[in-house]
């Protein structure tokens, strides 16, 4: 005899899970929409001389703060459920946001969140502090920014900066490629310390050497022609 | 181990001397490396245990397929084998509990899921042969340490695979004609005398008919489940559904064949089960 209740219970659970996913998805979609507009604003940096970046950074900051509110909303809902059960729904958008924050910070924004002896990028703790979310939780099952998400964001940031190195030259700025070059090499040295397995982090960080090469080529071209400012 | 770490640090220092990467970056990434290493080690332990659990579960299923009775205690040798293997599986699950606490319960769910599904298949088949009932999710959970999750998905996928096992069990039973409990056997003996008369209504032995009824009921209930498509919930559902439908139809066809041609079958004839085995999906 087959007990019907077994299947009725399963259907109830499937319906409940769908409801949770719908609720989270709605927030993630808002986050994604705002994320696209943040990205559009930040892409103006490619055509703006570094001296005139302030208005770009200001409006990017405004969008990022709007996204931060969505993250707070997301956190409130996500905290009611197991973190890794639904993490896949928002991880992409959260990574994009962290990339935007890091880019904005590297270009001179978010100064108040950088530590005194800080590097040129925000540490995972500093990002967490800005977004007001915990980071790298190892015990507690709650919403947080994971190490993997943070590292993937840094890789995306390096890709964007390598593009900026090329465009800086077009804008007549020969100093910024040097700064980008030394920063990306630092970051790359960091990634080389990691023992990566065959996963998404490995795949993405393997691509980082192309970002390094792209910037090195720019620096090489400039130095060959004695264009590097002393 | 220590030496390796020292070497890695020495290498990092050598690099630092050459390119002067900021020591801050290196120390940050050093921490990340340790954490990621821990994560990979944990994941590998879980995947390995999951494989061992799968292998043991398959062995249990093979043993159970050698029984011919339903709703009665297992033959002692088979009972002993399955008990030993269930104990081994439990030990494996228990060994994983430190890796599956708190936030990690769900973190590694995908890595342990194949083992759990196979275990549910074995456990539910065992339960079905003894009671002719479906084991509930709560009963499965009760057999496992608290840290090991039984998700609805794994439970459901286990039940899908169970239909494949019941199919093999039923087809073997139908064609060898021996799969019936003692009560049924008596009926069958009486029945055969009656049914040998021409034109009389032939019936399946009660236990065999029960299997067909159960499989049909399960099929109907599986097909009634409605799962939205917009998320990747129950990813394997479509494939499992097809395999399950094929299984049910195989049994229906076998039952039909036995009823229509049963009496013409030479004594001692056994069906070719080599194709039935393929249906089980991995």
Find the range with the poorest average confidence among A77-86, B85-94, B223-232.
B223-232
CA distance A217 to chain B (A): 17
Confidence of residue B35 (pLDDT cuts 50, 70, 90): very high
Kindly calculate the radius of gyration of chain A based on its CA atoms and give it in whole angstroms.
21
pLDDT, position A167: 95
Whether residue A179 sits in one domain with residue A129 = no
pLDDT, position A115: 64
Burial A178-211 (b: 16+ CB within 10 A, else e): bbbbbbbbbbbbbbbbbebeeeebeebbeebeeb
Residues A120-160: tens digit of each pLDDT:
789 999 999 999 999 999 989 999 999 999 999 999 999 99
pLDDT, position B265: 58
Find the range with the poorest average confidence among A188-202, B108-122, B184-198.
B184-198
Cβ of residue B98 closer than 8 Å to a chain A Cβ: no
CA distance A111 to chain B (A): 18
- Phi, psi at A130, each rounded to 5°: -65, -45
Contacts A185 to B, Cβ<8 Å: 19, 21
Cβ of residue A147 closer than 8 Å to a chain B Cβ: yes
**Is A150 contained in some domain?**
no
**Is A119 contained in some domain?**
yes
User: Does A162 have pLDDT greater than 70?
Assistant: yes
Do B233 and A85 lie within an 8 Å CB cutoff?
A: no
| % chain A with pLDDT above 70 | 98
Compare CB distances from A119 to B25, B133, B214 and report the shortest one's residue: B25
Enumerate the β-bridge partners of residue A145: A135
Confidence of residue B280 (pLDDT cuts 50, 70, 90): very low
Do B29 and A85 lie within an 8 Å CB cutoff?
A: no
pLDDT, position B178: 44
pLDDT, position B269: 59
Q: Helices marked H in chain B — which ranges?
A: 2-19, 23-65, 76-96, 104-107, 109-131, 137-142, 152-176, 182-195, 206-224, 237-261, 274-279
Whether residue A200 sits in one domain with residue A120 = no
pLDDT, position A28: 97
> Chains A, B: CB contacts under 8 A, how many?
117
Do B106 and A85 lie within an 8 Å CB cutoff?
A: yes
pLDDT, position B194: 41
DSSP string, A145-168: B-HHHHHHHHHHHHHHHHHHHHHH
pLDDT, position B266: 58
Reported CATH class of domain B42-193+202-228+235-262+270-279: mainly alpha
CATH code where residue A120 lies: 1.20.58.190
pLDDT, position B277: 46
Q: Which of A109, A127, A145 is the last residue of a domain?
A: A145
Whether residue A138 sits in one domain with residue A159 = no
Do A194 and B214 lie within an 8 Å CB cutoff?
A: no
Mutation pick from A14, A89, A115 vs chain B, by most beta carbons of B within 10 Å, is: A14
Whether residue A107 sits in one domain with residue A160 = no
**Is A31 contained in some domain?**
yes
**Is A201 contained in some domain?**
yes
CATH code where residue A167 lies: 1.20.58.200
Compare CB distances from B25 to A6, A142, A190 and report the shortest one's residue: A190
Do A3 and B218 lie within an 8 Å CB cutoff?
A: no
Whether residue A137 sits in one domain with residue A35 = yes
Cβ of residue A24 closer than 8 Å to a chain B Cβ: no
User: Does B3 have pLDDT greater than 90?
Assistant: no
**Total tally of structural domains belonging to chain A:** 2
Contacting B residues, span 113-172, partner chain A, CB-CB under 8 Å: 132-134, 136-137, 152, 155-156
Cα(A65)–Cα(B228) distance, rounded to whole angstroms?
A: 34
User: Does B208 have pLDDT greater than 70?
Assistant: yes
A144, closest residue in chain B (CA to CA): B103
Whether residue A213 sits in one domain with residue A99 = no
Interval A179-201 mean pLDDT:
92
| 3-state SS assignment for residue A125 | helix
Residues spanned by the domain of A89: 1-145
User: Does A96 have pLDDT greater than 90?
Assistant: yes
Whether residue A132 sits in one domain with residue A28 = yes
Whether residue A31 sits in one domain with residue A107 = yes
**Is A220 contained in some domain?**
yes
Contacts A189 to B, Cβ<8 Å: 12, 15, 19, 21, 25-26, 29
User: Does B242 have pLDDT greater than 90?
Assistant: yes
Confidence of residue B264 (pLDDT cuts 50, 70, 90): low
Whether residue A121 sits in one domain with residue A18 = yes
Residues A1-41: tens digit of each pLDDT:
789 999 999 999 999 999 999 999 999 999 999 999 999 99
Whether residue A186 sits in one domain with residue A85 = no
Whether residue A127 sits in one domain with residue A44 = yes
Find the range with the poorest average confidence among A76-90, A120-134, A157-171, B258-272.
B258-272
- pTM here is 0.85
pLDDT, position A228: 83
Whether residue A161 sits in one domain with residue A80 = no
User: Does B5 have pLDDT greater than 90?
Assistant: no
pLDDT, position B13: 45
């Amino acid at each position: 005899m087959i007990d019907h209740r077994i299947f009725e219970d399963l259907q109830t659970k499937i319906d409940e899970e769908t409801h949770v996913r719908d609720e989270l998805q709605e927030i993630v979609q808002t986050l994604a929409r705002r994320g696209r507009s943040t990205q559009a604003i930040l892409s103006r940096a490619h055509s703006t001389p570094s001296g005139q970046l302030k208005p770009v950074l200001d409006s990017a900051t405004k969008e990022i703060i709007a996204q931060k509110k969505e993250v707070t909303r997301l956190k409130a809902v996500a905290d009611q459920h197991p973190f890794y059960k639904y993490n896949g729904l928002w991880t992409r958008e959260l990574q994009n946001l962290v990339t935007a924050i890091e880019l904005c910070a590297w270009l001179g924004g978010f100064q108040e969140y950088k530590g005194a002896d800080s590097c040129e990028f925000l540490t995972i703790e500093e990002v967490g502090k800005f977004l007001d979310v915990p980071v790298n939780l190892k015990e507690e099952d709650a919403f947080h920014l994971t190490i993997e998400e943070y590292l993937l964001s840094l890789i995306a940031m390096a890709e964007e900066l390598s593009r900026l190195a090329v465009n800086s030259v077009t804008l007549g700025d020969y100093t910024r490629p040097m700064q980008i070059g030394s920063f990306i090499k630092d970051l790359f040295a960091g990634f080389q310390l990691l023992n990566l397995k065959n996963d998404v982090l490995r795949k993405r960080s393997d691509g980082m050497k192309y970002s390094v090469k792209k910037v090195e080529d720019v620096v090489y071209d400039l130095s060959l022609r004695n264009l590097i400012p002393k | 181990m220590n030496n390796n770490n020292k070497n890695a640090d020495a290498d990092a220092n050598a690099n630092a001397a050459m390119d002067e990467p900021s020591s801050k970056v290196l120390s940050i990434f050093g921490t990340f490396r340790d954490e990621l290493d821990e994560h990979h080690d944990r994941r590998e332990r879980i995947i390995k245990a999951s494989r061992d659990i799968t292998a043991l579960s398959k062995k249990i299923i093979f043993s159970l397929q050698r029984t011919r009775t339903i709703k009665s205690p297992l033959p002692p040798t088979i009972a002993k084998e399955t008990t030993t293997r269930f104990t081994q599986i439990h030990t494996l699950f228990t060994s994983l509990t430190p890796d599956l606490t708190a936030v990690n319960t769900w973190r590694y769910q995908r890595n342990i899921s194949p083992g759990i599904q196979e275990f549910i298949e074995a456990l539910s088949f065992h339960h079905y042969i003894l009671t002719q009932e479906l084991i509930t999710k709560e009963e499965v959970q009760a057999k496992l340490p608290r840290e090991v999750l039984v998700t609805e998905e794994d439970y459901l996928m286990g039940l899908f695979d169970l239909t494949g096992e019941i199919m093999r069990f039923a087809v073997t039973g139908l064609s060898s004609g021996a799969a019936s409990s003692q009560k049924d056997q008596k009926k069958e003996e009486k029945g055969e005398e009656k049914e040998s008369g021409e034109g009389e209504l032939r019936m399946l032995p009660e236990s065999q008919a029960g299997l067909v009824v159960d499989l049909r009921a399960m099929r109907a209930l599986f097909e009634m489940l409605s799962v939205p498509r917009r998320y990747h919930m129950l990813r394997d559902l479509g494939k499992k559904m097809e395999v399950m439908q094929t299984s049910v139809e195989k049994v229906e066809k076998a039952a039909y064949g036995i009823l229509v041609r049963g009496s013409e079958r030479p004594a001692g004839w056994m069906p070719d089960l080599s194709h039935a085995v393929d249906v089980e999906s991995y």
